[in-house]
Structure 1
Amino acid sequence: MPDLILHHYASSPFSEKARLLLGHKKLAWKSVIIPPVMPKPQLVALTGGYRRAPVLQIGADIYCDTALVADVLEHLQPEPPLYPEPEKGLSRILAQWADNQLFWAAMAYSLQPKGAAEVFAGAPPEAAKAFAEDRAKMSAGNMARLRPGDAAAAYKSYLRRLSDMLDDKPFLLGEVPCIADFAAYHGLWYTRRVHAVKDILQLTPAVLDWMDSIQAIGHGSFEKITAADAIAAAQAATPHTLLADSTFQDEHGIPLGSAVTVRAESFGPEETAGTLVAATRTHYTLARQADGAGTVHVHFPRIGYVLKAARD
């Protein structure tokens, strides 16, 4: 089994999703802590621009976005499955909703003024300002943020719907957790950490019980390493993707071998530039030269990301 290196930070909800996925799969991993705000020089050295947390590194292969990370972990360790039949398609669609609508409602509610005041209590005033400015840059005018009142209304509705799904089963789609559970959990996990706002979860006791079950999965076994160790691991390796599909699917008229950029559609406008070496039904892969790490392949899920020919 190759070393799994997770670049993450403690309070990141999507990082918590990835940590739990690793725990669910009972995979050992290595932990590299990255800053919650820019600059993130060692991470960007590997990704070429992408700066969201978490990022999974396996040798010289860099996997961005937890939707793609989940696919990689499923390939490495098929049991227990994240996409069980016959609900495979349903679990993916529910996870996509949870990672977007549910997550942003949870964050807008959790970081309302009283929540934000608690999160940054004891920190110097410039810390809260730096965080707000960093996240504003990540939105880049492409996202309409919910106001606290609208977020509360949406969040309560979503929690009731999750509770309805848990009426007759311990997890959202059955007797065992699937990708939908992990995607729905991490935004609620963040709310539960903020005492000033967490009482909203008391409205749905079934959801709290379900959260306890997900939390009990844990993060598995891991050891801490440095960012320099991770870059050295990339330097010592040759890219070799663990993504199962490889058939070229051309939707843009951009042939393999072209100079391209990839960026997220809405949150995190930073582009990664490189040579297009894969464009399949599920993912894009760019080859690039990373500072101090040699040739790396950076992988992105197709859904939620924008591929363009590089500017002249």
Structure 2
Amino acid sequence: MADLILHHYNTSPFSEKVRLILGAKRLPWKSVLIPAIMPKPDVEVLTGGYRKTPFLQIGSDMYCDSALIADVLEHLQPEATLYPEPEKGMSRILAQWADTTLFWAAMAWNLQPKGAAEVFAKAPPEVAKAFGEDRGKMSAGNMARLRPADAAGAYKSYLRRLSDMLDDKPYLLGEAPCIADFSAYHPLWYTRRIDSVRGILDLTPAVVDWMDRMAAIGHGTTEKSSAEEAIAIAKAATPHTLLTDSTFQDDHGIALGSAVTVRAESFGLEETPGTLVAATRTHYTLERSSERVGTVHVHFPRIGYVLKKAEAA
């Protein structure tokens, strides 16, 4: 099997989710650190426009979005499963809630003025300004952001609900962590990093104990790599998907082989253009070619992403 290459940065919450899953699966991986904000030329040449963090590269296949990455890692290493029976559906639904509703409430609390000031305390003022402008462009007015006071109430309620789930078991749905645990953990992990806002976690000691168990999983075995090495690996490889479903599901009236674009529904609205080579019940795959990287396949989950026929030039 080709190396697993995670393109990420250290303080990215969704990257922490994937790093922990890699640790839980005991899968060795290569680490390519990418910028937190644009420009990201080495990212864009591999993904064709997708700029959210992280993405997973295996040869010349690029897997976008942590939900899809989790499915790939589950295929590579089914034990211990992220999707246990009979809670398989529940684990996915809870994970989707955590990656969206919980995440945005937590981040509104985390990056309130005092939290943001601490995060960027050691950086020049222009760094904080550039970060804010970058994230504003990613939503482009398409998302309603919670104010810190509203986020506080919501976040406290969500933490209490998580605490209730941990009353009689060590993890959210049972005796072992599942995809719901990894998805709920990462926004709380970001809170814990910021001294001025982390006190909110103290209201739910069962959640803190659970976080300690999650953190103890670790990131597994990793090796530093570079964007140049990753691009060379992609150029030398031939796309070969690890996504197991292949039946064409046409919900758009767009045939395979069509020129299309894919973008996120609400955050990270940059479009990735390419040729549609797969549209299944769970994912889309676009083929792209360039001189620098050769032919790559870029994979997106269906949920949370928008497929459109490319407009004629």
Please confirm whether the aligned pair reaches a TM-score higher than 0.5, indicating the same fold: yes
Provide the C-alpha distance between the structure 2 equivalents of 1:14 and 1:132, rounded to a whole number of angstroms: 18
CA RMSD of aligned residues (A): 0.5
Q: Does 1:217 align with 2:217?
A: yes
Give the corresponding residue for 1:2: 2
Deviation at 1:23, TM superposition (A): 0.4
Deviation at 1:290, TM superposition (A): 3.6
Provide the C-alpha distance between the structure 1 equivalents of 2:208 and 2:2, rounded to a whole number of angstroms: 36
* Partner SS for 1:31: strand
Give the corresponding residue for 2:50: 50
Give the corresponding residue for 2:18: 18
Provide the C-alpha distance between the structure 2 equivalents of 1:33 and 1:131, rounded to a whole number of angstroms: 17
Give the corresponding residue for 2:263: 263
Provide the C-alpha distance between the structure 2 equivalents of 1:91 and 1:286, rounded to a whole number of angstroms: 28
Gap regions ≥5 residues in structure 1: none
Report 1:244-263 matches (<5 A): 244-263=244-263
Give the corresponding residue for 2:77: 77
Report the TM-score, using the length of structure 2 for normalisation: 0.99
Give the corresponding residue for 1:133: 133
Whether the 8 Å contact between 1:72 and 1:242 is mirrored in structure 2 is yes
Gap regions ≥5 residues in structure 2: none
Report 1:25-104 matches (<5 A): 25-104=25-104
Number of residue-to-residue matches in the alignment: 312
Q: Percent identity?
A: 77
Whether the 8 Å contact between 1:64 and 1:301 is mirrored in structure 2 is yes
* Partner SS for 1:285: strand
Provide the C-alpha distance between the structure 2 equivalents of 1:96 and 1:53, rounded to a whole number of angstroms: 17
4+ residue segments displaced more than 6 Å: none
Deviation at 1:233, TM superposition (A): 0.5
Give the corresponding residue for 2:236: 236
Deviation at 1:291, TM superposition (A): 4.6
Report Cα offsets for 1:8-42 as digits up to 9, x if no partner. 00000000001001001000000000000000100
Report the TM-score, using the length of structure 1 for normalisation: 0.99
Letter in 1 for 2:193: R
Letter in 2 for 1:251: D
Letter in 2 for 1:5: I
Report Cα offsets for 1:49-93 as digits up to 9, x if no partner. 000000000000000000000000000000000001000000000
* Partner SS for 2:196: coil
Give the corresponding residue for 1:304: 304
Provide the C-alpha distance between the structure 1 equivalents of 2:18 and 2:232, rounded to a whole number of angstroms: 23
